[in-house]
Chain A
Amino acid sequence: MSRVRYEAQWYSLEPEESVLDGLLRQGVPVPHSCKAGVCQSCLMRAAAGAVPEKAQAGLKETLKARNYFLACSCWPEPGAELEVAGGGDELRVPARLESLERLSGGVLRVRLRPQAAFEYRAGQYLTLLRADGLARSYSVASLPREGALELHVRLLPGGAMSGWLSTEARPGDEVRIQGPAGDCFYLPGRPEQPLLLAGAGTGLSPLYGIARDALEQGHTGPIWLFHGAREPRGLYLVEELRALAERHGNFHYRPSVLEGRLGEGVHVGSLDALIRDECPKPVGWRAFLCGNPELVLSLRKKLFLAGLSMKDIHADAFLPSASGPGGAGATPRAPDASR
């Protein structure tokens, strides 16, 4: 049996139980969301004891060096003792909600202003924490120079964070943010290299940032943005993106729906078929893929087989939140809005 010391108290862990699950089981409220080592909501710092290597996978080197780890991916050796210095509080930045606006029936645009320095690159994601510790991660759609952070929040029935944001939250409300994380962002250096951006649903969020970032950084090669949705009402920012395409000859915007009427400039059919038609030979291109894991993983494989190098494919699969409103031990339920 291993033990964890958290806020001046020892808690024992069951065999095969992660630090996060053990603490939640014993009623300790710990911010968390994906439970898969990705969103980093459950970040903690160890004061003493060995941190398993796996618990630091995906963390920045600077955080690893300071003994930060992810509680959801931390399984101490049997008999080991781990003392937690604190949650990720010291890494969290207070922020105020600035505006909440529907972009479509199912997507809310949330703008918030950090109350302290918050550095990020367009396309990365952050964790949003409500005052009570409820945490969800969202991709950032804004550009650093814009000041306010923009998130696209998918509204899901029963979603804890998205429900709160869409009904109760008001401009001026205080939240905290943590991050950023993720390596789905534009790097300058090869301005002529064609870019292929594809995503479904709120997968548009990081792509909206990446496309504008690339254009502002003087990218000269073609930039293709494919946005997929089930139905036309799932598309959003359509006018903004069409206007962007009018202003930049190298930017091509292709909205696509699975079900809908032909015409009106929206493709009807599968996203990957559209991509194949528009970009039949993407050898040497750079790709950014964001949204639900099935789409992202299948597109990654198809584009790799079509000739893209592995290092040129940046994929960000949005994981659903694994935490039900009842916390640990709750039965599986509809996943809350992740990103």
Chain B
Amino acid sequence: MSTVYELLGGAKAMDAAVDLFYRKVLADERINHFFEDVDMERQAAKQKAFLTMVFGGPNNYTGMDMRKGHAHLVKRGLNDSHFNAVAEHLAGTLKDLGVAAPLIEQVIQTAESVRADVLNR
């Protein structure tokens, strides 16, 4: 079975996915304060790596990167509710891109596997 990554069109489709996803995240009052002072281009590059990973594309994901990358946000109060909000936007992005519900569910489960790393538990 092909991955969501392949289904969407591979590497060249990731920029459009990041645009949709990042725009939802920045517009969300529950979480956008975590993104206030970040460099947008660098952030987009990280999100591209993250989406590529959860969509089943080629990646070199390590839990350590996720831990280190979010440790300072956990100190600022990052918790499950924020993680859930991001997961919601991930599902919304895939819906916008016309991905079928069972595949979205699969992606969300992959994202779920990084929850502990992101929240440094």
Nearest Cβ distance between residue A299 and chain B, in whole angstroms? Answer: 11
A334 sits at the interface (CB 8 A): no
B85 sits at the interface (CB 8 A): no
User: Chain B interface residue count: which class?
Assistant: 10 to 19
Interface bits B51-92 vs A (CB < 8 Å: 1, else 0): 000000000000000000000000000000000000000000
Q: Which of A294-333 contact B (CB under 8 A)?
A: 297, 300-301, 304-305, 307, 309-311
Q: Which of B12-56 contact A (CB under 8 A)?
A: 15-16, 18-19, 22-23, 26-27, 40-41, 44
Q: How far is the CA of A310 from the CA of B26 in the complex (A)?
A: 13
Nearest Cβ distance between residue B13 and chain A, in whole angstroms? Answer: 13
Contact status B27-A310, CB under 8 Å: no
Contacts of A310 in B (CB 8 A): 15, 18-19, 22, 40-41, 44
Q: How far is the CA of A107 from the CA of B75 in the complex (A)?
A: 46
Contact status B15-A301, CB under 8 Å: no
B26 contacts which of A297, A301, A311 (Cβ < 8 Å)?
A301
Best-surrounded residue of A301, A307, A310 (most CB of chain B within 10 A) = A310
Contacts A300-B40, A310-B40 given; indicate if A305 touches B19 (C-beta within 8 A).
Answer: no
Contacts of B26 in A (CB 8 A): 301, 304-305
Nearest Cβ distance between residue A283 and chain B, in whole angstroms? Answer: 11
Interface bits A231-272 vs B (CB < 8 Å: 1, else 0): 000000000000000000000000000000000000000000
Contacts of B19 in A (CB 8 A): 304, 309-310
Q: How far is the CA of A297 from the CA of B39 in the complex (A)?
A: 9
Q: How far is the CA of A297 from the CA of B26 in the complex (A)?
A: 14
Q: How far is the CA of A310 from the CA of B16 in the complex (A)?
A: 9
Contacts of B16 in A (CB 8 A): 309
Nearest CB in chain B to that of A313: its residue: B40
User: Chain A interface residue count: which class?
Assistant: under 10
Nearest Cβ distance between residue B14 and chain A, in whole angstroms? Answer: 11
Q: How far is the CA of A307 from the CA of B96 in the complex (A)?
A: 14
Contact status B15-A311, CB under 8 Å: yes
Contact status B40-A305, CB under 8 Å: no
Contact status B18-A305, CB under 8 Å: no
Q: Which of B78-112 contact A (CB under 8 A)?
A: none
Contact status A304-B40, CB under 8 Å: yes
Contacts of A297 in B (CB 8 A): 40
Contacts of A307 in B (CB 8 A): 23
Q: How far is the CA of A311 from the CA of B27 in the complex (A)?
A: 19
Q: How far is the CA of A297 from the CA of B27 in the complex (A)?
A: 16
Contact status B15-A305, CB under 8 Å: no
- List residues of chain B with CB under 8 Å of any chain A CB: 15-16, 18-19, 22-23, 26-27, 40-41, 44
Q: Identify 17 new A-B residue pairs, CB closer than 8 A, beyond the known A301-B40, A310-B40.
A: A297-B40, A301-B26, A304-B19, A304-B22, A304-B26, A304-B40, A305-B26, A305-B27, A309-B15, A309-B16, A310-B15, A310-B18, A310-B19, A310-B22, A310-B41, A310-B44, A311-B15
The 8 closest A-B pairs by CB, nearest first: A309-B19, A310-B44, A310-B19, A311-B15, A305-B26, A305-B27, A305-B23, A300-B40
Sampled A-B contacts (24; CB under 8 Å)? A297-B40, A300-B40, A301-B26, A301-B40, A304-B19, A304-B22, A304-B23, A304-B26, A304-B40, A305-B23, A305-B26, A305-B27, A307-B23, A309-B15, A309-B16, A309-B19, A310-B15, A310-B18, A310-B19, A310-B22, A310-B40, A310-B41, A310-B44, A311-B15
